[in-house]
Structure 1
Amino acid sequence: MGRRDYAILLLLAKLGLRADEVATLTLDDIDWRASEILVRAKGRQRARMPIPPDVGAAIVAYLRSGRPKSSCRRLFVRTLAPHIGFASGCAITMIAKAALDRVGIERCAHRGAHIFRHSLATELLRSGATLSEIGQLLRHENHDTTRIYAKVDIDALRTLSLPWPGGVQ
């Protein structure tokens, strides 16, 4: 996997960015001093998000020795000429699907870039984050949208269950 794709996958997995949000990032969106990235979210909203150290390191590695020389201000550009930014999030989704194929994940409900966002939300929920906190990170305007990620965790429920009266025969 190349440096560009690795940095893209980390943005999807660690920050829960949408494919379109990654595709539209520009070089000017990164504030290295503050370790923040400006994300253009749904509905013309903008959000400043912290850049985790591993994500920052991956972006730096891509910029220093993976990104082709280009006058394009988009953070991620095509590897083949012309070296321009992606037209939409479709290219990001294809990068995510290719990564899933490489590790043998073929059948899942959220195939593509969104599986990383969904996995982040599920892991945060299992780690004790509230739906409100998760919704804030994922930049959901409506709390009902965040509830989609509150799937039943059977293993977690088993630890809470009481023994059946009379036991299992």
Structure 2
Amino acid sequence: MMKPSKTQAREELKAEYRTYLSRQRGLTDKTVYKYSILVDRFLDFRFGESPDDLSKVTGHDIADFLQHLTGRVQPLRDKTLATTMRSLFRFLFQSEKIEANLALGIPSVAQRYARRIPYHLTPDQVEELLEAVRASAPSKYAKRNYAMVLLMARLGLRSPEIIAMQLDDVDWRNGEISIRGKGGFRDKAPLLQDTGEAIADYIRHERKGASRCLFVANRSPYRPFKDAKVLNTILTQALETTNISRPKQYTVSHILRHSLATNLVQRGASLEEISNTLRHRSRQTTLLYARQDIDGLRTIAQSWPLAEGGLS
């Protein structure tokens, strides 16, 4: 019996891995595809043109690969690299393709790009962008666009959270909004007056269709949006009509969330208040915004000693 070629063996391995991710791990098709792509990247990195030999893979190989991806001038922007690699090597061990469970030794990867201060807008720029959203959209869905973006500006909601909102998530009597957050978490946020008025204006005068989703397309049959790309498009188009400097493309959908956090810091809000507002699960995420309070940091900075021993 002929030994399968490198390409054939690789494809069989990936097919088996995809089945494992889907059936045993219960991951979505999108996540399965993302995870399986890393198989090619790692094996190409480790073996190049040589035949794949999983028995030769070591922990050092994995560490070198992760360093390769994150240590470049433009590092791979993926916070789940270590998780993905652990999943791969857990599968290889459980399926007896390798003898040692290398997944146990894979450390978390430091995300150097997160050290950068997020791009943000001043309060005046936020209001300018909100007006631009309302003015730049065609009249038949200007109210919808404005209400969606206002939720981002006032409550720091993420784009997918806005798209996922249902009509029943707005509690008009108690003045609250239920948010379907990351990881299946459900949170409550206050329904601020201007935000509530914008949503009500949209529902009364513009929204159509029988869908229970709050925000829907403005063409028959008025279906919910498939993904959150619509908000990125809305913000990008609105920014083009202003004098606001353009952020990098990947930050557009988070621009108002970052701006809300930054402006809260500069108004004296505590990190706990910011964490609660943005519904962070990790305090480390909130600490990123502490760097925005330059004046506050100056008050705790130590004086720099001069060469003569004096203080500046």
TM-score when scaled to structure 1?
Answer: 0.87
Question: Which one of the candidate residues 226, 238, 242 is aligned to 1:87?
Answer: 226
CA–CA distance in 2 between the matches of 1:155 and 1:162? 14
For residues 14-163 of structure 1, the aligned pairs below 5 Å read 14-67=154-207, 69-109=208-248, 111-154=251-294
SS state at 1:148 partner: helix
SS state at 2:188 partner: strand
CA–CA distance in 1 between the matches of 2:241 and 2:300? 37
Q: Is the 8 A contact 1:26 1:75 kept in 2?
A: yes
SS state at 2:225 partner: coil
Deviations 1:102-156 (A, max 9, x none): 2233422563220000000000011111111101111111100111222244466
Q: Which runs of 5+ in 1 are unaligned?
A: none
CA–CA distance in 1 between the matches of 2:169 and 2:303? 54
CA–CA distance in 2 between the matches of 1:15 and 1:120? 8
Higher relative contact order (CA 8 A, sep 6+): 1
Q: Is the 8 A contact 1:22 1:92 kept in 2?
A: no
Q: Which runs of 5+ in 2 are unaligned?
A: 1-133, 135-141
Q: CA RMSD in A?
A: 2.3
CA–CA distance in 1 between the matches of 2:285 and 2:301? 28
SS state at 1:82 partner: coil
Question: Which one of the candidate residues 131, 141, 150 is aligned to 1:10?
Answer: 150
CA–CA distance in 2 between the matches of 1:147 and 1:102? 33
SS state at 1:49 partner: strand
CA–CA distance in 2 between the matches of 1:5 and 1:70? 17
CA–CA distance in 2 between the matches of 1:136 and 1:78? 31
Q: Give the C-alpha shift of residue 161 in structure 1.
A: 8.1
| Larger of the two Rg values belongs to structure | 2
Deviations 1:64-121 (A, max 9, x none): 1121x20111110112233111112221222222222222334225632200000000
Identity across aligned pairs (percent)? 43
CA–CA distance in 2 between the matches of 1:44 and 1:83? 26
For these two proteins, the number of residue pairs brought into alignment is 166
CA–CA distance in 2 between the matches of 1:100 and 1:133? 29
Higher helix share: 2
Q: Which shifted more, 48-57 or 107-116?
A: 107-116
CA–CA distance in 2 between the matches of 1:3 and 1:159? 44
